[in-house]
Structure 1
Amino acid sequence: MRVIIILIFSFISVFPQVNVQETQVADGVVHKKIINTNDTLVINILKIDIKKPDISILAVKANELLNTKETTSQMVKRYKISGYDVIAAVNADFFESDGEVVSNMISNGQIVKAVKFSDSPFNPFTNSQIASDADDNLYIEQFVFSGNLILPNGNVEEISRINSKSDSNSITLYNHFQGKITPPSSREWYVVDFVLFPLLSIGDTLKFVAAAKTTLRNFEIPKEGIILSSNNKYAHYLEREIKIGDTLRIVYNFSPKIKNIKSLTGGWPVLVKDGMNMIRRNTSIEGVTDKFSEQRHPRSGIGYSADKRTLFLITVDGRQPMSKGMTLIEFTDLMINEGVFNGLNLDGGGSTTMVINDKVVNSPSDATGERLVGNCLMVIRK
């Protein structure tokens, strides 16, 4: 009898109890749900044929504002009300307590946030990000922003960032994603802001006309224009060089250079590169900590196949009796087994959320339910 019992347990361990369900959500979009009761895991995988002409991916900021939060399903609902045909969505970048995303972000071709370095306390360089261009080609890179202001006299000055709080002795741009007014700056700084309205766009160069100048703090940001904010030595310099009515040129660049970026959002860290498990090669990649990497947590991730035709959105539930979560190595192995050739970790934990056809299909781990997050990635029909 004792031998039979041992054989039974051996049989169970060799053949784990795994239930796999696949559902076609839309033409070119398949939802795969894996319930593994042996390993105590619940996994949701959305496979998207991103090369279908009617399907695209869109990075969406909570409330279309840098410093606010929404749930992923709230963002989906808001976009559907405004006329978008949203198939699915997943939470995206890590974010600050006020909702500001950690890394660069572009939504529908408009810059939400652009910085040279991510605001991550763990990574001295910049976190990896995922981008898609106008043709829905996909890229995972450590994108770095650079910008230039070209004055009427031909002088070129560096733009340090777009939206987000400025540094001393710098030039910063603010658009409608920042909110109604420019953010506060140090009272000791001398600040001069210029109101710019767009004239035309030629490639990556934008032409603006200087319509107004102010030294007031918390100045109103025009809906159809931008604020060029300068402080200290740059404020004194630009106050002399820029006259109302002048035409200014501004050049935005991201390195590596990708033309016509439509959507861009961050994650942390890169998990799969050219089919290789990057966590196995370097357990502290991009400043990842042991606690974050080696403990089992809910996970969210995004990736694409070797031919860049299939986009994968993946969530793993965790911190719950029915699903314990995954380590980063396990999550990366899952990605590779499913066909991901290049993959990126997104914000996980209580943020992990996948919405398909208006329904949250995973089980967010927070006791209060779906968490307010900084942004999300949507799969839409054009």
Structure 2
Amino acid sequence: MARSGGRARVRTGAAAAAALGVLGGALAGATGARADSGGMPYDRVERLAHGVSYGEFTVTAHGAAVHGDVLTVDLRDPRVGVDLLTPGAVAARATVSGMADARHAVGAVNGDFFNISEEHPGVAPTGSSDGPEISSGRALKAAVPDAQRFGPAMPPGGSTQDVIGVGADRRARLDRLVLHGVLRTDRGSTALGGFNQYALPAGGIGAYTAGWGAVSRERAVCGSDTSRAAPCSTDTYEVAVRRGRVVAVADAPGQGPIASGTTVLVGRDGGADTLRALHVGDRALVGERLAPTSSRVPYVFAAGGFPVLRDGEPLPGLDAKTAATRTAAGFGDHGRTLYLLALDGAAETGAGLTVAELAAVMRQIGADDAVNLDGGGSTTLVARAPGDPAVTVRNHPSGGAERPVANAVGVFAGGS
């Protein structure tokens, strides 16, 4: 099936040339189906639904064959949609196939890096993602401090606030989502440092809602602004607010479900001092929103990931040494065509692609802008063939089976 993709262009820049030099022989020698636009030769292309196709390709890098799986989504088709898939709570994990089937998606790839492990004794990992999340137009969480993120090193200038998203105008974009949150009391206003996120900045206050889930909020006060492994703060305080009034206080972060309509404020260090001034019955108003820095169009969906390709050029400083299993999302055709990519690899053998090579491959399939998503054992791409009741895993997860992850990018199609 023909795909809608970005226009073929001449790539420039040392990083792109170097990455394509490694892959060039394989790309030039590959055979099979080829998209109408873009330069990637596909071994196989399958139509999943109106405006959605699945493709497979193989490249050779570092002496090994690397298999790739791609979902191509035509956002101009009104029957097609994209949204963030979640396990039902910010602090939770589920398989990509499970999340896709729960929402009847036609395809999906895993999303952002997440709090998968813990350096702090006795503190359980939350499973929550690094970056912001918007699902069905609703903000679910904000970004953790850069030093507290999980995942490989970002290129210079990268931030946990970086996202890929699709706006209400059905165009994909790269952007940053910044938390604008405030606590207002009779003593004045205080800016929030977090919203449903697993780590708070030193001295900060974070707001947690029912969307967080039942996992302990203790992880929020661990680490520092320079080290994820720094000790947990012992100077903490927690306040529950409902209908504009303080209804409960505690000396330490709690756990368990948060009732709908209730916001729990967690403070560490200076933020704890601010919360200690509040007492049950005091007036307290909490507001939070995610503000884009590049677009005025509201986002229907957004997921965290660090940019690797912008305006057809790889970002400076991309890792060109470490080959690994990779996941990426990007777009071409002025945001009208979305590409979701899963690349196989194996940590044990060094198979896979570097981040610089990933940027080159995304450019090859037609993307002008792209982000790196969670890779390794998290890399999963699923798709549902016409008439099938459920999705199947199309790539080869490096761990041999799907890993439960924090979120996924889901594709939906009507009349398939």
The normalised TM-score by structure 1 is 0.77
What amino acid is the match of 2:75? I
What amino acid is the match of 2:57? I
Are the counterparts in 2 of residues 315 and 352 from structure 1 also a CA contact under 8 Å? yes
> By how many angstroms is 1:226 displaced?
2.3
Are the counterparts in 1 of residues 208 and 265 from structure 2 also a CA contact under 8 Å? yes
Q: Aligned in 2, Cα 1:299/1:174: closer, same or farther, shift over 3 Å? A: same
1:86 alignment partner, SS class: coil
Are the counterparts in 1 of residues 142 and 290 from structure 2 also a CA contact under 8 Å? no
Q: Which of 252, 258, 263 in structure 2 is aligned with 1:226?
A: 263
Alpha-carbon distance in structure 2 between the residues aligned to 1:147 and 1:249: 7
> By how many angstroms is 1:138 displaced?
1.9
Name structure 2 gaps, 5 residues minimum.
1-24, 33-42, 117-124, 222-231, 385-390
Q: Does 1:342 align with 2:369?
A: yes
Q: Following superposition of structure 1 onto structure 2, how do residues 216-255 of structure 1 map, counting pairs within 5 Å?
A: 217=252, 218=254, 221-230=258-267, 231-239=271-279, 243=281, 246=283, 248=285, 250-255=287-292
Alpha-carbon distance in structure 2 between the residues aligned to 1:85 and 1:194: 36
Paired residue for 1:112? 140
Alpha-carbon distance in structure 1 between the residues aligned to 2:165 and 2:348: 35
Paired residue for 1:28? 51
Alpha-carbon distance in structure 2 between the residues aligned to 1:320 and 1:226: 42
Count of residues paired in the alignment: 338
Paired residue for 1:215? 250
Are the counterparts in 1 of residues 236 and 266 from structure 2 also a CA contact under 8 Å? no
Q: Which of 11, 36, 42 in structure 1 is aligned with 2:67?
A: 42
Are the counterparts in 2 of residues 296 and 324 from structure 1 also a CA contact under 8 Å? yes
Q: Aligned in 2, Cα 1:167/1:23: closer, same or farther, shift over 3 Å? A: closer
Q: Does 1:89 align with 2:108?
A: yes
Q: Following superposition of structure 1 onto structure 2, how do residues 102-181 of structure 1 map, counting pairs within 5 Å?
A: 102-115=130-143, 117-118=145-146, 119-120=148-149, 122=153, 126-127=159-160, 128-151=162-185, 155-163=188-196, 164-167=198-201, 169-180=203-214
> By how many angstroms is 1:148 displaced?
2.0
Name structure 1 gaps, 5 residues minimum.
1-11, 198-208, 284-289
Paired residue for 1:205? none
Are the counterparts in 2 of residues 169 and 234 from structure 1 also a CA contact under 8 Å? no
> By how many angstroms is 1:222 displaced?
0.7
Paired residue for 2:90? 66
**What's the Cα RMSD here?**
3.3
Paired residue for 1:193? 239
2:29 alignment partner, SS class: coil
Q: Does 1:275 align with 2:303?
A: no
Identity %: 22
> By how many angstroms is 1:88 displaced?
0.4
1:330 alignment partner, SS class: helix
Q: Aligned in 2, Cα 1:294/1:157: closer, same or farther, shift over 3 Å? A: same
What amino acid is the match of 1:48? V
What amino acid is the match of 1:87? V
Alpha-carbon distance in structure 2 between the residues aligned to 1:308 and 1:125: 21
Alpha-carbon distance in structure 2 between the residues aligned to 1:264 and 1:331: 21
2:207 alignment partner, SS class: strand
Are the counterparts in 1 of residues 110 and 373 from structure 2 also a CA contact under 8 Å? yes
Are the counterparts in 1 of residues 130 and 144 from structure 2 also a CA contact under 8 Å? no
CA deviation vs aligned residue, 1:232-264 (integer Å, no higher than 9, x gap): 32113344xx845x4735242424164533322
Alpha-carbon distance in structure 2 between the residues aligned to 1:14 and 1:25: 25
Q: Aligned in 2, Cα 1:89/1:214: closer, same or farther, shift over 3 Å? A: same
> By how many angstroms is 1:72 displaced?
1.1
> By how many angstroms is 1:59 displaced?
1.3
Alpha-carbon distance in structure 1 between the residues aligned to 2:354 and 2:297: 35
What amino acid is the match of 1:132? V
What amino acid is the match of 2:242? L
